Amino acid sequence: MKMKNRIFTRTIVILVLASGLIGEKYFQKGKEIFFATGTIKYISIEGGFYGIITEKGKNYLPVNLSEEFKKDGLSVLFKAKPQRVATIQMWGEPVEILEIKLIEKKQNLSQIKVAILYERITDGIYHPSKIRT
């Protein structure tokens, strides 16, 4: 009888410790900090709000986006931490923005190179407006 009680007690202790470790890992998952690039987007549901859609198509709902970044179409690089909160928007994963930077849009250099090359080749001699018919 004593042996059964010891085995039962040890089993209960092991199960309690294991569930504690699993629970700790589950709650730490929400504390992971990550970096991503994406585009600020105004979403016009539930009264309207700003979200971030990453290059990989993941949707994030920043809970603390500053006013200067509340512009539709801005490309940003951000550092964030997932938040375990419920929101009325029901869109994307709620995140706390830790750092955010604007990504400057670069001009399409291939179009500029073609224009320069065309100008060099023609050297002003061949131009569509100078064609004789």
Q: Give the CA-trace dihedral at 100, 105, 106, 107, to 10 degrees.
A: 180
- 133 residues of the chain, pLDDT tens digit each: 677 778 888 888 787 777 766 655 555 554 689 999 999 999 998 788 999 999 999 999 999 999 999 999 999 999 999 988 888 888 999 999 999 999 887 656 565 566 555 555 555 555 555 555 4
99, 78 contact by CB (below 8 A): yes
Helices (H), the chain: 2-29, 109-122
Copy the structure tokens of residue 21: 């470790």
